[in-house]
Amino acid sequence: MPTYDYRCEACEHAVEYFQSMSEKPKKKCPKCGKSKLVRQLGTGAGILFKGSGFYQTDYRSDSYKKSASADKPASGSCGGDTKSCAANGGPCAN
Ligand SMILES: [Zn+2]
C-alpha cells in the first residue's frame, strides 16, 4: 500500500497516511482539525516508483520502434544519405 504525504496549509503540520489507491485523499488535519490537508505529489515512494517504471517501459518501446524503422531504409536503399550509403557499399557507392 502506498504512503501519501500530506501537509496542512493552515498549520504546516506534515503527516503520512497509508492509503489504497482507490481511497479518497485525506482532508482533515489531525493537529488543527481544519480541512486544509494537501497531498504532496512526487514524495510517495510507491507512486514515484510506479510512475517512473511506466515511463521507462514506454520510452523503451518507443525507442525500439524508432530504431526498427531506421533500419528499414538502410537494408533497402540509402534513404537519401548517400555518404553513409557509399561507406556501406550501398547503391549510391558510385
Ligand atoms: Zn493543520
Mean per-residue pLDDT, 74-90: 66
41/58: higher pLDDT: 41
Q: How many domains does the chain have?
A: 2
Burial 77-94 (b: 16+ CB within 10 A, else e): ebeeeeeebeeeebebee
Cα–ligand 1 centroid distance for 23 (angstroms): 21
Model confidence at 52: pLDDT above 80: no
Distance from residue 21's CA to the centre of ligand 1 (Å): 23
Contacts of 29 (CB under 8 A, 6+ apart): 8, 10, 11, 13, 15, 35, 36, 37
Cα distances (Å, whole numbers) of residue 12 to 21, 28, 38: 24, 13, 10
CB within 5 A of ion ligand 1: which residues? Answer: 8, 10-11, 13, 29, 31-32
Q: Is residue 93 part of a domain?
A: no
If asked whether residues 23 and 11 sit together in one domain, one would say: yes
Q: Which structural domain range is residue 82 located in?
A: 46-87
Mean pLDDT, rounded, for 47-71: 56
Max avg pLDDT among 9-18, 40-49, 61-70 = 9-18
Gap from CA of 25 to ligand 1 centroid (Å):
15
Q: Is residue 94 part of a domain?
A: no
